[in-house]
Structure 1
Amino acid sequence: MKKNLHPAYHNVVFRDPSADFAILTRSTATSTKTVEWSDGNVYPVIDVDVSSASHPFYTGKNRLVDTEGRVEKFNQRYGKR
Protein backbone atom coordinates (compact mmCIF):
# COMPACT_ATOMS: atom_id res chain seq x y z
CA MET A 1 0.00 0.00 0.00
CA LYS A 2 1.34 3.46 -0.91
CA LYS A 3 2.17 5.77 1.98
CA ASN A 4 0.61 9.26 2.29
CA LEU A 5 -2.04 8.43 -0.32
CA HIS A 6 -5.16 8.43 1.84
CA PRO A 7 -6.47 11.43 3.81
CA ALA A 8 -6.30 11.43 7.62
CA TYR A 9 -9.22 9.61 9.28
CA HIS A 10 -9.98 11.13 12.69
CA ASN A 11 -12.75 11.95 15.18
CA VAL A 12 -15.10 14.77 14.13
CA VAL A 13 -18.27 16.22 15.67
CA PHE A 14 -21.16 16.84 13.25
CA ARG A 15 -23.58 19.38 14.75
CA ASP A 16 -27.07 20.49 13.71
CA PRO A 17 -27.59 23.86 15.45
CA SER A 18 -31.27 24.11 14.47
CA ALA A 19 -32.12 20.90 16.36
CA ASP A 20 -29.47 21.22 19.10
CA PHE A 21 -28.09 17.82 18.08
CA ALA A 22 -24.48 16.66 17.77
CA ILE A 23 -22.80 13.33 17.11
CA LEU A 24 -19.19 12.27 17.45
CA THR A 25 -18.01 10.04 14.62
CA ARG A 26 -14.96 9.42 12.47
CA SER A 27 -14.46 11.13 9.12
CA THR A 28 -11.88 12.49 6.73
CA ALA A 29 -13.63 15.89 6.79
CA THR A 30 -12.00 18.58 8.88
CA SER A 31 -12.74 22.08 10.13
CA THR A 32 -10.96 24.97 11.79
CA LYS A 33 -13.76 25.31 14.38
CA THR A 34 -13.52 23.12 17.47
CA VAL A 35 -15.81 22.07 20.30
CA GLU A 36 -15.22 20.43 23.65
CA TRP A 37 -17.08 17.11 23.82
CA SER A 38 -18.55 15.56 26.98
CA ASP A 39 -15.47 13.35 27.42
CA GLY A 40 -13.33 16.47 27.91
CA ASN A 41 -11.49 16.23 24.59
CA VAL A 42 -11.55 18.92 21.89
CA TYR A 43 -12.64 17.85 18.39
CA PRO A 44 -13.17 19.65 15.07
CA VAL A 45 -16.84 20.50 14.53
CA ILE A 46 -18.76 20.65 11.24
CA ASP A 47 -22.15 22.37 11.22
CA VAL A 48 -24.80 20.76 9.01
CA ASP A 49 -28.16 22.14 7.85
CA VAL A 50 -30.15 18.92 8.14
CA SER A 51 -29.62 15.86 10.34
CA SER A 52 -31.76 12.97 11.50
CA ALA A 53 -32.93 15.19 14.38
CA SER A 54 -34.34 17.85 12.03
CA HIS A 55 -35.17 15.97 8.81
CA PRO A 56 -38.92 15.82 8.12
CA PHE A 57 -38.79 12.12 7.19
CA TYR A 58 -37.46 11.16 10.63
CA THR A 59 -39.31 13.73 12.73
CA GLY A 60 -42.70 13.61 10.99
CA LYS A 61 -42.80 17.42 10.88
CA ASN A 62 -42.92 19.39 7.66
CA ARG A 63 -40.15 21.96 7.50
CA LEU A 64 -39.04 23.93 4.49
CA VAL A 65 -35.27 24.00 4.22
CA ASP A 66 -34.26 26.44 1.52
CA THR A 67 -30.84 27.76 2.43
CA GLU A 68 -29.80 28.59 -1.11
CA GLY A 69 -32.97 30.16 -2.54
CA ARG A 70 -33.84 27.27 -4.84
CA VAL A 71 -37.58 27.76 -4.56
CA GLU A 72 -37.32 31.46 -5.45
CA LYS A 73 -35.00 30.66 -8.35
CA PHE A 74 -37.50 28.09 -9.67
CA ASN A 75 -40.41 30.52 -9.33
CA GLN A 76 -38.47 33.27 -11.14
CA ARG A 77 -37.53 30.95 -13.98
CA TYR A 78 -40.87 29.22 -14.54
CA GLY A 79 -43.32 31.44 -12.65
CA LYS A 80 -46.52 30.34 -11.00
CA ARG A 81 -49.09 29.04 -13.46
Structure 2
Amino acid sequence: MKSGIHPEYRPVVFRDKAGGLAFLTRSTATSSKTIDWEDGRSYPVIDVEISSASHPFYTGTARVLDTAGRVELFRRRYGS
Protein backbone atom coordinates (compact mmCIF):
# COMPACT_ATOMS: atom_id res chain seq x y z
CA MET A 1 0.00 0.00 0.00
CA LYS A 2 1.11 3.53 -0.64
CA SER A 3 1.85 5.50 2.49
CA GLY A 4 0.02 8.73 3.24
CA ILE A 5 -3.11 8.12 1.12
CA HIS A 6 -5.17 5.89 3.41
CA PRO A 7 -7.28 7.14 6.33
CA GLU A 8 -6.19 6.30 9.86
CA TYR A 9 -7.54 2.92 11.03
CA ARG A 10 -7.97 2.95 14.80
CA PRO A 11 -10.14 1.62 17.66
CA VAL A 12 -13.59 3.24 17.87
CA VAL A 13 -16.62 2.54 20.11
CA PHE A 14 -20.01 2.29 18.38
CA ARG A 15 -22.91 2.91 20.79
CA ASP A 16 -26.59 2.22 20.09
CA LYS A 17 -28.63 5.09 21.51
CA ALA A 18 -31.88 3.09 21.74
CA GLY A 19 -30.66 -0.36 22.77
CA GLY A 20 -27.82 0.54 25.09
CA LEU A 21 -25.35 -1.74 23.29
CA ALA A 22 -21.78 -0.52 22.90
CA PHE A 23 -18.90 -2.36 21.27
CA LEU A 24 -15.28 -1.63 20.53
CA THR A 25 -14.01 -2.25 17.03
CA ARG A 26 -11.58 -0.73 14.54
CA SER A 27 -12.74 1.79 11.97
CA THR A 28 -11.75 4.80 9.89
CA ALA A 29 -14.77 6.76 11.15
CA THR A 30 -14.00 9.87 13.20
CA SER A 31 -15.73 11.56 16.12
CA SER A 32 -14.97 14.44 18.45
CA LYS A 33 -16.78 12.73 21.39
CA THR A 34 -14.90 10.20 23.52
CA ILE A 35 -15.85 7.53 26.04
CA ASP A 36 -13.87 5.77 28.78
CA TRP A 37 -13.92 2.06 27.97
CA GLU A 38 -13.67 -0.95 30.30
CA ASP A 39 -9.90 -1.22 29.81
CA GLY A 40 -9.38 2.30 31.22
CA ARG A 41 -8.54 3.93 27.88
CA SER A 42 -10.48 6.70 26.18
CA TYR A 43 -11.80 6.00 22.65
CA PRO A 44 -13.79 8.03 20.13
CA VAL A 45 -17.50 7.13 20.29
CA ILE A 46 -19.96 7.11 17.41
CA ASP A 47 -23.66 7.02 18.30
CA VAL A 48 -25.89 5.05 15.94
CA GLU A 49 -29.68 5.03 15.79
CA ILE A 50 -30.21 1.30 15.20
CA SER A 51 -28.10 -1.80 15.79
CA SER A 52 -28.79 -5.47 16.35
CA ALA A 53 -29.83 -4.62 19.92
CA SER A 54 -32.73 -2.40 18.84
CA HIS A 55 -33.66 -3.44 15.28
CA PRO A 56 -37.06 -5.21 15.13
CA PHE A 57 -35.76 -8.01 12.91
CA TYR A 58 -33.05 -9.01 15.39
CA THR A 59 -35.11 -8.48 18.54
CA GLY A 60 -38.02 -10.61 17.30
CA THR A 61 -40.58 -7.81 17.30
CA ALA A 62 -40.83 -7.56 13.51
CA ARG A 63 -44.32 -7.68 12.04
CA VAL A 64 -45.21 -10.12 9.27
CA LEU A 65 -47.45 -8.73 6.55
CA ASP A 66 -50.43 -10.83 5.50
CA THR A 67 -49.86 -10.93 1.75
CA ALA A 68 -52.77 -13.29 1.09
CA GLY A 69 -55.15 -10.80 2.70
CA ARG A 70 -53.74 -7.99 0.58
CA VAL A 71 -54.27 -9.99 -2.63
CA GLU A 72 -57.87 -10.73 -1.64
CA LEU A 73 -58.46 -7.06 -0.88
CA PHE A 74 -57.10 -6.14 -4.31
CA ARG A 75 -59.33 -8.71 -6.02
CA ARG A 76 -62.43 -7.51 -4.13
CA ARG A 77 -61.67 -3.91 -4.95
CA TYR A 78 -60.75 -4.29 -8.64
CA GLY A 79 -62.26 -7.63 -9.63
CA SER A 80 -60.60 -10.82 -10.78
Q: TM-score, normalised by structure 2?
A: 0.74
SS in 1 for 2:57: helix
TM-aligned CA deviation for residue 18 of structure 1: 1.0
**Map of 2:50 onto structure 1:** 50
TM-score, normalised relative to structure 1: 0.73
The corresponding residue for 2:38 is: 38
By how many angstroms is 1:17 displaced? 1.7
TM-superposition CA deviations, 1:3-60 (whole Å, max 9, x none)? 1010000000000021111010000001000000011000000000000100111101
State the number of aligned residues: 63
1:10 match = 10
Structure 2 unaligned residues grouped into runs of 5+: 64-80
- For structure 1, the 5+ residue unaligned runs are 64-81
What residue number does 1:26 align with?
26
Tell me which amino acid in the other structure corresponds to 2:59: T
The root-mean-square deviation of aligned C-alpha atoms, in Å, is 1.4
Greater C-alpha radius of gyration? 2
Identity of aligned residues (%): 65
What is the CA–CA distance in structure 2 between the aligned matches of 1:20 and 1:2, rounded to whole Å? 39
Q: What SS does the corresponding residue of 1:51 show, helix, strand or coil?
A: coil
